[in-house]
Amino acid sequence: MRRGAGTRAPLLLVATAGIVVGLLLLPLAYLMIRVAAGGRTLDVLGEAETWRLVWNTLILAVGVVTTTIAVGVPLAWLVTRTDLPARRVWSTAAALPLVIPSYVAAFCLLGFFGSRGLLADALGVDRLPEVKGYWGSLAALTLATYPYVFLLTRSSLQSLDPSLEDAARGLGVSARRTLLLVTAPAIRSAVGLGALLVALYTLSDFGVVSLMDYDTLTRAIYVQYKSLFDRAPAATLALLLVALTALALVVEYRTRRRGRLYRAGPGTQRQPPLVRLGRWRAAALAYCSLVVGIFLVLPAGVLGYWLVRGVANERELGTPWNETINSLAASGLAAVAAVAAAIPVATLALRYPSRSSRTLERLSYAGNALPGLVIALSLVFFAARYASPVYQTIGLLVFAYVVRFFPQGLSGVESALERVNPRYEEAARSLGHGPLRTTAFVTVPLMRSGLLAGAALVFLSAMKELPATLLLRPIGFETLATEIWGLTQVGAYSRAALPALVLIVVSAPVLYLVSATRRFESGAAG
Amino acid sequence: MKLLGGLAVLFAVLLGGIGCGGGSDGPLTVYSGREEELVAPLFEMFTEETGVEVEVRYGDSAELAATIAEEGENSPADVFWAQDPGSLGAVEEYLDPLPDGVLAMVPERFRDRDGRWVGTSGRSRVLVYNSDALAEGEVPDSVFELTDPRWKGRIGIAPTNASFQAFVTAMRLTEGDEATRQWLLDLAANAPKEYEKNTPIVEAAAAGEIDLGLVNHYYLYLVKQEQPDAPIANHFLESGDPGALVSVAGAGELESASDPSNAERFIEFLLSENGQRFYVDAAEEAEYPLVEGIEPKEGLPPLDELEGPNVDLASFGTEHEATIELLRETGYLT
């Protein structure tokens, strides 16, 4: 299943992957420069407060990863492998919260469950217990990120060759043990990858923890930037985030399987037999309703309520056409660029596995737990100094999105590449095709679904991105996210509700690309 | 594959096309920490009056200051218009002194001593209160009364917000570091509720989540736009109290400005009759005009009656770090 150690990676591939990863490491270089110029690093590292922040950040990340797996994995299994009624509807609805920006999710949760929120009004009680702090952050971040785990697990379950499970059953293994011994290990790497994306998101998130008033490293970095103009302490805290990223990567790597389960062929596949839920059906339905109710219906409902209140108060509500077009354009470009950049990195890591190719791939994650503000300022630093023609152009904004969301593109490319049997490539090579042609005409077409899924994930994240957009966008370039920010800045929620709903509505169809895995894969056989 | 190839070509063309437009000539570039929702009409008025096109980058004042610092000499900005003197002070080294004629339009206490920036509108710190819960007479006249145990759990503050930090700086400058530390510790013992910024405090007061909040006076009017019937009002504190600090939003011209004369024209416009009347006429605005002879919005006490603490706003930039340190030590910041 692997190439022999003798196979050397083509130079062009190594060079391209190297350049991509080098560019992704710019924020890290900036942090080094700031730390070197400052000199208060040791003071910061010596403070008990710093380690309290590290601990807070760590327990939040572990908490969010745990809840997202607990929510996402059973849901993915229910919608792919059981006779749950209306599986497709649940499958779509459960993925939709991915399009809700986490700061909007936090606003909505507070607006509903807040001590004087809509729920308190509805119950007629004076005030409810406070939902802020750790648990509030956990809830809002779970809402915003569990779809990563759900989607990756679902796609892994869908593309898992049922003949593997059949073989186990044929050997007399019980259904329950097959689930445990064959299915669970087979999806483990997908769950791990989803969890990694969740962890990186949580580490870098500022919107939720600031609204929920919970102290993490990212929040402290913002406070430092906003209040102190000595940038070394902020850079030091940011480097601690990078260290936590490294920890997350090690954990994730350990969950990966060494041997991979390839499909025997990309051709027609049978539906795996569905598990009959029987008397568990009601419980399963209740579970799905609960998840979708809290994570989708509730935030959409709160936004709807604000919109209605705005109409009732006769506030001016303009449809944000320009903002929508700008968001779509910048995010679309970012999606294409991120996936294109991920192909050489993934190919090198998976097809020419070696310590150095793996390291290169892992390095590409280094900046991804960094808050958007840090990434933005690092690109301000380099672009204004050394690349002023691109500074404050859409090109640099798109580049910032790629830097922030590269792992999401990479996850799509890698999971697709993992499922393409290298034998097809070997066949092409033995027929005299060069590595480039083989990649272009054999591998990439077989990976189409994964590429689209990766592109869709990047697209959805870029649609929601705020901090880097604010600082790097061309002047006058308003996106839906900046519009929502501008309005919530002055407390105009009823007017912010409309762009927020538009963001959700225009993002939703893109989820279809993530979901369409199966169709494309079987299409690729023809 | 065709699809991907096509997209790649499109991408290259777009990047190439846009990459050409990055020159520094042309319209006046303003970095504005003031919210677009509030001040966009002012920029339109300026263009109408002078014919000078303006490009505005909106953002958080401190983040824009950090951006200017990272851009260094290559900043595309001509003017920096910030919410607070602290952000202007932070980029002082990149600002050019303004002409005396512009500086003279504004009272001395509302501008930089070295003439690098000038205040454009004023805001007073006040206590916003829930008028269902409290009568105006019950609202304290000094921030020093807020440490009384009867206010336990009833006060809202925004310790990470620049406006709260400026107020703490004012207390340090008038009462000294020790007294301020003690006040902060006593207030913390009263378990104030913390918010990210002013607007949520006013909303919390409207919702009855808190009874009192330490805020700038004009946020009340913003929240009233959203909730016209909210039971909230402002209480101005006694003169000399640090909680009665009158601060300013202000503007300065970047040394690297590509068009200094238009940058000055813009700052002059902000201080002109039209530029200053804006704060009186615009529905969502209620800040104080700073130029003499222009009365503030109805219902506001006149500016010269607001005797905040006797402090030099221009020193807030350099004093900021010590304030932050104090807030960290007393557990308000991380």
Structure tokens at A522: 């079987």
pLDDT (tens place) for every residue of chain B, 334 residues total: 344 444 444 444 444 444 333 334 578 999 999 988 889 999 999 999 999 999 999 988 888 998 998 898 889 999 999 988 888 988 888 999 999 999 999 998 899 989 999 999 999 999 999 999 999 999 999 999 999 999 999 999 998 888 898 899 999 999 999 999 999 999 999 999 988 889 989 999 998 889 999 999 999 988 888 888 899 999 999 988 999 999 999 999 999 888 888 999 999 999 999 999 999 988 777 899 999 888 898 888 888 888 888 888 888 877 877 888 888 788 887 5
Q: Of B110, B123, B102, B65, which Cα lies nearest the Cα of B269?
A: B102
- Beta bridge pairs of residue A272: none
Which tokens sit at A478? 């308003």
> For B69-91, how does the pLDDT look when each residue is reduced to its tens digit (9 = 90+)?
889 888 999 999 998 888 898 88
Which of A452, A464, A496 is closest to A204 using CA atoms? A464
Cα–Cα nearest to A127, from A142, A136, A117: A117
Q: Do B334 and A53 touch (CB under 8 A)?
A: yes
* Residue numbers in chain A where pLDDT is lower than 50: 1-6, 258-259, 266-268, 518-526
The structure's pTM equals 0.81
Tens-digit pLDDT profile for residues B135-172? 999 999 999 999 999 999 999 999 888 889 889 999 99
Q: Cβ of B219 and A491 within 8 Å?
A: yes
One-letter amino acid identity for B284?
E
Secondary element (H or E) of residue B200: helix B198-207
CB contact under 8 A, A394 and B63: no
Measured in angstroms, the CA of B20 and the nearest CA of chain A are apart by 7
- Report the gap between the CA of B325 and the closest CA in chain A (Å): 10
> Measured in whole angstroms, how far is the alpha carbon of residue A22 from the centre of its chain?
22
8 Å CB contact of A486 and B208: no
Residues of A whose CB is below 8 A from B8:
336, 340
Instruction: From chain B, pick out residues whose CB is under 8 angstroms from the CB of A375.
Output: none
Alpha-carbon B304 to chain mean position: 20
Q: Would you tell me how many other CB atoms lie within 10 Å of the CB of residue A27?
A: 25
Which residues of A fall within a CB distance of 8 Å from B211? none
Q: Pick from B124, B195, B37: which is nearest to A496 by CA? A: B37
pLDDT computed for residue A193 by the predictor: 86
B202: Cβ–Cβ under 8 A, 6 or more apart, which residues?
A491, B128, B213, B215, B219, B220, B222, B223, B232
**DSSP at A295:** I
Tell me the nearest-neighbour CA distance from B244 into chain A, angstroms: 22
Nearest CA in chain A to B194: A213
- Cβ within 8 Å, pair A475-B57: yes
Question: Which tens digits make up the pLDDT trace of B178-207?
Answer: 999 999 999 999 999 988 889 989 999 998
- One-letter identity of residue A146: Y
Alpha carbon of A383: minimum distance to chain B alpha carbons (Å): 8
